[in-house]
Structure 1
Amino acid sequence: MHKIQLGSIIEIELADSQFAYGCKFDSIIVGIYKIISSNKLQISDIILNQISVYIAIDNSYLKKRPFKIIGKINLLNDEIYPPDLAWYAEWLPEDSLKRSTIRNKKGKTEYTNKEYYISLVKKGLVMNVFNRPEYLSLWLIDNLNNWPNYEIPLE
């Protein structure tokens, strides 16, 4: 099996037969464009959209081909790194806020101050982890068009 290249554009067929699209960043991050379409799109149309959600998917998961790779764009210099992303668990918001841990642009986990952490969460710049492709598909249907859509816990 070959390594999934940086800049690979991934087509995600959703449970309702629509499509979402992502771009492979650094070693494990896929950025999901803020678009859900009932028709398959061309890369030139996809990249006109903003990346809205970041998910962690390792190469072994991608190699199983739960998603279709439809092409590649060239990422240059700092473009290969997603922004700082908060490690935020929606089911443990108080614990997430207490830890205030982020994954920085270079892929390292670090602790940060609560103000910066909250600013990332408010923007939706969080690391989402999905173990099974169907979970991602259902989550995108419910959340992509109105992300971020949760309240941040008060201390």
Structure 2
Amino acid sequence: MTLGDIIELEEDGKKVYLQYVKEAENETLLEKMRVFYRVYDERPIDIYSIIKDDFFFLDFPYRYGIKDKGVNLIGNIPLSLDFTIPKRYRTENVFGSGWRIINEGDKSEVVEELSDEQKKFSPYGMWSIPEIFENLKDGWRLENWI
């Protein structure tokens, strides 16, 4: 596992791509991945074409998932020198209405309505591979997740 690895998830002949961008800090945490929105019918000839400015972040069990059927390491594209990982994420508030804003390594807060900035925050936590495919095939996007 090397930062910048590109993995392909495959389900029912469709493919989506993730890039490994942050190591897990310990054995109980998951690796951070950059998830690209596009769903492909075939693997692109040039893996650099996968890298777009249009993505979001998720936690993913990369060190374990790469052993699963349908998860393939296809190459590595080094991260740019100015690449940064967000410090804040969001999730629906399971204890009531609104949203929980998670400040990584810090406390969280609940807001009833998301600001324009908060609408750009990636989901906190992980999605299963079927959930990734279902959401991306259905056109899920951060800005519409309100």
TM-score by length of 2: 0.71
Unaligned runs of 5+ in 1: none
Q: How many residues align structurally?
A: 136
Aligned with 2:74: secondary structure? Answer: strand
Aligned with 2:130: secondary structure? Answer: helix
C-alpha contact 2:122 2:142 (8 A) present in aligned 1: no
C-alpha contact 1:143 1:149 (8 A) present in aligned 2: no
Where do 4+ consecutive residues of structure 1 move more than 6 Å?
none
Aligned mate of 2:129, from 127, 130, 133: 133
**In 1, Cα distance between equivalents of 2:96 and 2:20:** 30
The one-letter amino acid paired with 2:120 is K
2:71 matches 1:63? no
C-alpha contact 2:48 2:77 (8 A) present in aligned 1: no
Identical pairs, percent: 18
C-alpha contact 2:34 2:57 (8 A) present in aligned 1: yes
Compare the two structures and name the one with the higher helix fraction: 1
CA RMSD in angstroms comes to 3.0
- Evaluate the alpha carbon distance shift between residue 142 and residue 7 of structure 1 in structure 2; reply closer, same or farther with a 3 A threshold: same
C-alpha contact 2:58 2:122 (8 A) present in aligned 1: no
Aligned mate of 1:75, from 75, 79, 93: 79
The one-letter amino acid paired with 1:92 is V
Greater relative contact order (Cα < 8 A, sep 6+) = 1
**In 1, Cα distance between equivalents of 2:130 and 2:106:** 27
C-alpha contact 1:55 1:128 (8 A) present in aligned 2: yes
2:48 matches 1:44? yes
TM-score by length of 1: 0.68
